[in-house]
Amino acid sequence: MSQLRCPKCESMEATKSGVVGGRQRFKCKNCGYHYSVAKTGKETSPYYVIKALQLYVEGVSYREIERLLGVSHVSVMNWVKKYGVKAPRQTDYHPTYKILNQKELAEFFQKPENLKEAGLIVTELGDKYMMIRWERFKQA
């Protein structure tokens, strides 16, 4: 039987070797390694992975990302580890964000006082827009 490549030695020679957890198990004829077919589960769209990583780099917490995108905070943590994303340490600033529709966003940008000071980013979030602004921590 030559269905799958062995993950250990890349050989195409394998025999069926039972069923484990509802998945077919194989044994490589070349090296004797046992393996299963690839997991067929729910895969998250790359759009959400990229958005979650962007928000993490911008300083948004795992739980906030979970609430915003509707993906588990544990998934976000796993993506951060998997892709080796490191957010810069923030000591003086923290992000605040607003979710706006297109009309609200246009009205926001029409007011000159809203455009003063740096540290504003707008990103698409489905059919809405997320505006992230950095504010300085208040000194006591």
Mean pLDDT in consecutive groups of 10 residues from the start of the chain, 140 residues: 71 89 87 79 81 87 89 94 83 77 91 76 85 68
Q: Are residues 100 and 130 in the same domain?
A: yes
pLDDT of residue 2: 38
> Which helix (DSSP H) or strand (DSSP E) does residue 73 occupy?
helix 73-83
Same-domain status, 48 and 33: no
Helix, strand, or coil here: 122?
Answer: strand
Quick one: pLDDT at residue 98? 86
One domain, residues 99 and 128: yes
81 and 103 housed in the same domain: no
Q: Six-digit token pair at 8?
A: 């250990």
Contact 33, 6 (CB under 8 A): yes
Do 20 and 56 fall within a single domain?
A: no
In 3-state terms, the chain is what percent helix, strand and coil (to 5)?
30, 30, 40
Question: How many residues are recorded in the chain?
Answer: 140
In order, the DSSP letters of 82-114 are HHT--PPP-SSEEEEEEEE-HHHHHHHHHSGGG
pLDDT of residue 1: 42
Decide if 99 contacts 93 (C-beta within 8 A). Answer: no
Distance CA(85)–CA(62), nearest Å, equals: 13
36 shares its domain with 47 = no
Q: What is the pTM of this model?
A: 0.56
pLDDT for 53 equals: 92
Range of the domain at 119: 92-139
**Residue 111, both tokens:** 């007011």
* CA separation for the pair 25, 10 (Å, rounded): 16
C-beta of residue 75 within 8 angstroms of C-beta of residue 55: no
Q: What's the domain count of the chain?
A: 3
What was the pLDDT predicted at 123? 86
Would you state the structure tokens that stand for residue 42, as one six-digit string?
A: 């729910």
CATH number assigned to the domain comprising residue 49? 1.10.10
